Amino acid sequence: MKKTLMAMVLVTASLFGQTYDLKPIHITKDITCIIGDLNPPTKENKGFVSNMCYVNIGDSLVVLDAGPTYRFAEDFYDLMKKEYPKLEVSHVILSNFHDDRVQGAGFFQEKGAKIVGYKNLNEDIKGNLDKFERMKMILNPEFLKGTTIPKADLLVENGYEIKGSKKTLTIVKPSRVSEEKSDIAIYSKSDSFLFVGNIVFNGRMINYTKNSSVDGWIEALENLAKMDAKYLLGGHGKEYDAKSYQTTLEYLKTLRTGVKKGYEEGVSAIEMGKVVDTKKFNFLYYYEQLNYGNIQNLYNQLEWQ
């Protein structure tokens, strides 16, 4: 009888327990964040590879990125309600269109939250639907139940404000294009805090794609640095001090200088990886896997501009 009862308890726990192991970090008394795995999405991390936050603006909570799955959003919501049982989520701000950041949005819409993105977010999603196949290849279909491709309810421009009873959050578009066209940062002046999504990576190599702009990305980082925030949290990695953007900025400047110099000297695409010296960044996760592709993508942009 005892064994049967114990088995029932274990089954119940597995059905209704938390799916994700979310460990909150309190950056300020009103801002709580969770740090994603530095690896790409896997069965082990269940797609939780990006940093996300929630902010108490006084009369409601604002969520910064929605996570990779509906189940993730459920667990994220439960974490918030433990800290703020009387507050509901009024807005979810999506820092870009990537699947690991946005696919939990449907859960929050069901809760009545407004999904906010930069003015070209829905366009970015529609133009990159292949990106939303990744979780389907990794996770069990039952695990993905409820997960949908999002559509923002509110598309905004630089300077848009979400005002609460005790603080205001401001959408910052620091350049036209950085990693993606839809990249934005979220600024809480009263907390001296910037959440900058994929504009900053810490501990992990950036992914410079055909959609990226090296000049725009550098411009974005330099503009964010001028805001002189005490706390700056990127989309990946655990650092959130004022200088946490510097490795990303230094790598991009090294990449730009090296590739442009090689291109002007007539170095071929095949040989470019040998002449662009980025070895000082080989401590970053996935340096070997991503650095060569970053060089090739920037070279191809120069070739076709």
Q: Is the pLDDT of residue 7 over 60?
A: no
**Residue 17 pLDDT:** 61
* Residue spans of alpha helices (H) in the chain: 2-16, 70-83, 99-102, 105-110, 121-127, 134-138, 214-226, 246-264, 269-275, 287-304
The count of C-alpha atoms lying within 13 angstroms of the C-alpha of 272, restricted to the half-sphere facing its C-beta, is 27
Residue 144 makes CB contacts below 8 A (sequence gap 6+) with 69, 70, 135, 136
**Residue 18 pLDDT:** 76
pLDDT band at 20, cuts 50/70/90?
Answer: very high
What is the DSSP secondary-structure string of 187-254? EEGGGTEEE-GGG-BSSB-----TT--HHHHHHHHHHHHHT--SEEE-SBSS--BTTTTHHHHHHHHH
**Residue 128 pLDDT:** 96
In angstroms, rounded to a whole number, what is the distance separating the alpha carbons of residues 197 and 193?
13
**Residue 3 pLDDT:** 42
Q: Whole-number mean pLDDT of the chain?
A: 94
The count of C-alpha atoms lying within 13 angstroms of the C-alpha of 82, restricted to the half-sphere facing its C-beta, is 10
142 Cα distance to chain centroid: 25
- The arithmetic mean of pLDDT across residues 52-60, rounded, is 98
pLDDT band at 8, cuts 50/70/90?
Answer: very low
Percent of the chain's residues with pLDDT above 90: 92
Domain segments of the chain as ranges? 21-201+212-244
In angstroms, rounded to a whole number, what is the distance separating the alpha carbons of residues 211 and 129?
14
**Residue 43 pLDDT:** 95
Q: Is the pLDDT of residue 170 over 60?
A: yes
| 73: nearest Cα among 129, 131, 177, 145 | 145
pLDDT tens, residue by residue, 254-299: 999 999 999 999 999 999 999 999 999 999 999 999 999 999 999 9
pLDDT tens, residue by residue, 200-236: 999 999 999 999 999 999 999 999 999 999 999 999 9
In angstroms, rounded to a whole number, what is the distance separating the alpha carbons of residues 94 and 139?
22
Phi then psi dihedrals of residue 107, to 5 deg: -60, -45
**Residue 10 pLDDT:** 37
- The arithmetic mean of pLDDT across residues 75-93, rounded, is 98
- The arithmetic mean of pLDDT across residues 128-153, rounded, is 96
| 201: nearest Cα among 241, 249, 242, 255 | 249
Pairing of strands 89-93, 114-118: parallel
- CATH class label, 21-201+212-244: alpha beta
Q: Is the pLDDT of residue 2 over 80?
A: no
